Structure 1
Amino acid sequence: MDNLGDLTSGQNAAALVVLAFLQADCRTSEYGKELLSLGKDLNLTRDINFKDALEDGDIETDGHLPSRITALDDIQPSLELQWPRNGAEAADLQQIAEGLREIADQLEHVVVAQATQNLSRNLTTSPSDQWKNYLTEEVRTVMRQGVGLEHLPQERVMMALTLTLVKGVCEQAPRLLRNLFHTALQCINSARAM
């Protein structure tokens, strides 16, 4: 189970794991809005608040929502990832995302703050076609320094570090989320191909 490629052949598995990782402990509303938008655009999420409000069939004949649901702007989006229908596969993907978050928590206290600042500085001063190189190099630099997690599978540590850096940069600059999300997927898929 150390290899994501064993779980599913599609790009959706990696995208689901990345999105689940990035959604955990979302700290800012701007970042949360970007995640919501990205998840909807990728068809990997659904807004469960809106679904729940409409499940009782209470749409008025003129097409408007019932009057008791007038303050939709006050409702924070609540997302639900669209996991594979195969329960075992969905559980495996969720377990991978949770494992990556646990590794990332350990990494965050060790080296991530400095690496996030370095990556953020490089990304804001360069075109997006160079982002994969900067992200890959920052991960390699941190791994060379040693992160004290040698007892864990190194592929997972590298993935957790990659996603931690992406999340750190995007929490500071949410506008970078879309491009950096796709860059992270490229890095993950490149590492899986090796």
Structure 2
Amino acid sequence: MAYPPQPWSLHGQLHVSVWLLPADRLPPIPAEVAAAVRPVRIGRYAVVGTAWVDYQQGGDMSYRELLSAVLMRAGLRSRVTITHIWVDSADSRDGGRELWGIPKDLAEFELTGTDAAAVTGGQPIATAVIRRSRLGLRLPIGFRVVQALRGRALTTPVRAVARCGPSRLTWQIAPDGPLGFLAGRRPLLSLTAADFRMRFGTTPPPQ
């Protein structure tokens, strides 16, 4: 096992955009997840988040990431399920899949404070220009991720603190790529969580 045991302690920079997408255009959600949670609806729209993440040196792992996730709910409790995700670390890919059922694949990245791009198998996924505004105070962030793992829905807690503030992300998404369901659309809003410190997962009970 080349990846660390959970929980992973990570830190770095995150840029997220929130989109409204017609619910009938959502990507497929595994049956185990769909049986446990359902998409949050605003009229005929669902809520999708996309994020560029730079996990930097000093945490348990360092790598870069692009993901797309759907906002879900279990009753009145909000949840997130990740439908697409790419990293540039085989260890992160393997750990994400085996520990939490996160469907990580590999990609090549350019990710700076102002520009982002991801390519997989020689085919572009997306690019973005990042413009950060003034960041505010360090704030706590908490959410739970629901994924399909070994035939059941697994819920994993995520906790972080970060300096948060609005930003502007100008996306170009490959229409024939895996995120093509967002191509030609504009995000509703974008945010930056800078210098975050994150705890992903839980300590397993003793055997």
Structure 1-normalised TM-score? Answer: 0.30
Larger Rg: 1
Higher strand share: 2
Structure 2-normalised TM-score? Answer: 0.28
